[in-house]
Amino acid sequence: MKATKVKYYNQSVEDVLKAQGSSPEGLTDAQVQESLTKHGPNQLETKKNTTLLQKFIAQFKDLMIIVLIAAAIISVFVGEGVDAIIILLVVVLNAIFGVFQETKAEEAIAALKELSAPQAHVKRNGKVETIKSEDVVPGDIVLLEAGDIIPADLRLIESAGLKVEEAALTGESVPVEKQIAILNDKKLPIGDQTNMAFMNSNVTYGRGSGVVVGTGMRTEVGQIANMINNAEETTTPLQQNLAQLSKVLTGLILVIAAIVFVVGMIRGNESLINMLLTAISLAVAAIPEGLPAIVTITLALGTQRMAKRHAIIRKLPAVETLGGTQIIASDKTGTLTQNKMTVEKVFVNNQLHDAQNVQLKDYPYNHLFELMILNNDTKQTKEGLIGDPTETALVQFNLNKHEDVDKLIQSEKRVAEVPFDSERKLMSTYNQLPDGRYIQTVKGAPDELLQRTTLFEIENDVKPMDDTERKLILETNHELATQAIRVLGFAYQIVDEIPKTLSSEIVEQELIFAGLIGMIDPERPEVAQAVVEAKQAGIRPLMITGDHRDTASAIAKRLGIIGENDDQAVISGTELDEMDDKTFAKKVKQYSVYARVAPEHKVRIVNAWQKQGKVVAMTGDGVNDAPSLKQADIGVAMGITGTEVSKGASDMILADDNFSTIVVAVEEGRKVFANIQKAIQYLLSANLGEVLTLFVMTMMGWQILAPVHILWINLVTDTFPAIALGLEPAEKNVMKQKPRGRESNFLSGGVAGNVVYQGLLEGLITLAVYGIAIWFPVHASYAQVHADALTMAFATLGLIQLFHAFNSKSIHGSIFSATTLKNKFFNWSIVVSFILLAATIVVPGLNDIFHVSHLDLHQWAIVGGASISIVILVEIVKWFQRRFAAR
């Protein structure tokens, strides 16, 4: 269901009321019931959550998991129940890990329903009633005042200084001044539809009323909710990599197992059942059955570390996806900026100062700071300042300077006013002075104010306003405006009595100019450095905002997202509308700042970069960000200022709303990918060694290792060391490297070659030990010789993997570094794995279960020497790799 396409901002109040079957007196009870039956309650729809059972079943869709289950079923049919139990145990544990993580992070999905205004004030049957927002219907007349949450989409029919904060919907931090006149432009973005008010935005100032033109899913927020619900679930680079790896491994496994089975049957030395068991042994050897669990555990450990650093992961694969991020498309308001108007510049005594350097005691004769407080409707409460963000910024400035605001307001109470209106852009108040006279305070747009001033204040003197002074003020105003600073001018006059007629034409004349105040929604102090770090890491930051072009450009320059002369890197939503997708795709790389954009623009921007093959992270906090958060490879929501809607659509939440936490998370993501890559290199090279050993043994007609041997080796040598590799600290300069990107995978960066040669070395060394045991026997008995050979091969194949785990601590780095023994969990995992492996040979009774024999010291020496040789051989190859890479 889409939001209505009718452009109510193009229609008169009378036409809209007629179309909605309403009047200024509101609907009758009968009309309300009819509309409620036709349109339904004013609620938003959300997707149904999946059940625990559905989540559990979804974990078994992975191809590698399916192959493992098939191997377990075959093991049961041929009588290898122990093998089947071990395989299924690994599979089920992996599924439980996945379900736990998804369930733990799903509490905020239905939060769109909670976002709606709890109550609304409407006019029905000619009387004002307070009703639940869900009972609001099209045609209702809704009354608005400061502090209200707007319950539905409205065409405004009355506005008295009405200002509405629409940041969650448009991304614009400054409240929008509303009016009721017809807007003739046929294509206006939401932020410029000034005669409309939208569901879930906040009234910050003034009062007004409007006729409801859209409820529930027919509102602008409803359209966003619909985009969220209909968004396709995207797969992360991690999921794509694992799926690709599963396909490759499955193909190889089936081919090798088939060859061995056929060759064995042709030789005629083995029965059908034995050859089937041999094929299963090869399948078990080739499949890294611990890989899904190890990847899950590594990601889970990564989420714990990231949570300690204020990045909460909602979906496990998001940890790794962060590491491959190439684009961070960030919302401006509340993400790059503080979403809080702040006084930044003060023009007083004909001089422009940074606000932080201004001390009120240095200006005892100037009225500027007094005017900031008196011409102000901000209310102070226990919860903080309440009012228009611009006005609260003026009060907060004085509070920060230790001014006694309450005392001044009490001593110079307001007795009359001329309210602000958007046409004259001014507001005046009259406050009684202790001597019985009155001070008239005026604030507003500097150009309008100057037309009504005849004097200006400087130090403790008042001088006539001349062209030179007027030019200086206007130039200062222009200079600040080009920096996206919002400027207010202040003026005053002292009068003996209040005029009987309070009109602008009468009272706002012959004023004394006091100064200018420049305000801005300032950037977060840590963001500029985070942008530098992101660029050093090869990541391109983008700004996407509902703010005007000049504001967006100025903030982007201050943050270092674009350079001082990079104005061509800024594009507006209107310009974007004029481009088709093909043209935009060609030009997307030249833009780093997107201003005055709508929610559908954000999704389009993310899509365009994804079509360039980039991994895109999108940050945001508003309702308007939710569709693009869901579309992005990784959506990052703000934990403090973020709406529950944005959190529900995200993959990661920043608990501290700190942009720099994203960079920290990227570093953690890169470390997680590197550690998973190390584990995969370790597992696949080990499994290749096992496959080669079994394949050659079968081809040579030797007695081969049984499935229980391979499973035990995989259980004790793969599981603990591989998990421990997931805890490796980040290698040096991890944030100085370019992002991997979407095309990279776990076998890139030389890993595929390493797997092949290291696996061949492991297999050949194991076969050499088997040959030595056969050719240089310790015992005379034929059966004992072959039992010893099989045991030595079993011990070598296990022990060589434990030594090789040290090689895998770095893809290309040397084992002889200061950090080799830094990971204590890894060190203990090797010790425990060795004990479990050796126990099957040296502990009486266990060797019978595993069909192995005792080895003497001479045989153990051969096994140990052969196993440790893998370290020496791989170190030599790494040395050559580093030399060639340097060249």
Each residue's pLDDT tens digit, 484-516: 788 999 999 999 999 988 888 889 999 999 999
Query: Cβ(388)–Cβ(163) under 8 Å?
Result: yes
The Cα–Cα gap between 462 and 459 comes to 8
Does residue 331 carry a catalytic annotation?
A: yes
Note the pLDDT of residue 849.
74
pLDDT of residue 525: 85
More confident of the two residues 65 and 440: 440
Between 447 and 386, residue with greater pLDDT: 447
Helix residue ranges, H only, 359-464:
368-374, 389-400, 405-411, 446-450
- In the chain, what are the domains? 8-46+112-230 (2.70.150.10), 235-302+669-886 (1.20.1110.10), 321-338+524-657 (3.40.50.1000), 342-520 (3.40.1110.10)
Which range has the top average pLDDT, 243-247, 723-727, 879-883? 879-883
Block residue for tokens 């079509």: 611
SS3 44: coil
pLDDT per residue over 711-761, tens digit each?
778 778 877 888 888 788 877 778 888 887 777 777 777 888 899 999 999
Tokens matching residue 871: 């370290």
Residue percentage of the chain with pLDDT more than 90: 32
- What gap in Å lies between CA 332 and CA 330, rounded to an integer? 6
Q: What is the chain's percent helix, strand, coil content, to nearest 5?
A: 50, 15, 30
- Provide the mean pLDDT of the chain: 83
Contacts 24+ apart (CB under 8 A), 76-81: 78/273, 78/276, 78/277, 78/280, 80/277, 80/280, 80/707, 80/708
Q: Are the C-beta atoms of residues 622 and 646 closer than 8 Å to each other?
A: yes
How long a stretch of residues is the chain?
887
Point out the catalytic residue in the list 62, 140, 148, 331: 331
Q: What is the pTM of this model?
A: 0.67
For 472-476, 513-517, 631-635, 768-772, which range has the lowest pLDDT when averaged over its residues?
Answer: 631-635
Higher pLDDT pick, 233 / 532: 532
Q: Tens of pLDDT along 817-827?
A: 756 778 888 89
Q: Please state the rounded mean pLDDT for residues 294-304.
A: 76
Q: pLDDT at position 115, please? A: 40
Report d(CA 872, CA 874) in Å as an integer.
6
Which pLDDT belongs to residue 106? 45
At residue 112, does pLDDT exceed 60? no
Q: What's the confidence (pLDDT) of residue 80?
A: 60
**Cα angle: 862, vertex 868, 869; to 5 degrees:** 90
Assess whether pLDDT exceeds 50 at residue 430.
Answer: yes
pLDDT band at 863 (very low <50, low <70, confident <90, very high): very high
pLDDT at residue 648 greater than cutoff 50? yes
Which of helix, strand or coil describes residue 117? coil
Tens digit of each residue's pLDDT (9 = 90 or more) over 335-348: 788 878 899 999 99
Q: What is the DSSP letter of 524?
A: P
| Range in 24-28, 34-38, 740-744, 851-855 the model is least confident about | 740-744
Neighbours of 525 (CB within 10 A): 10
Choose among 12, 25, 249: nearest CA to 139.
Answer: 25
Decide which of 9 and 175 is more confident: 9
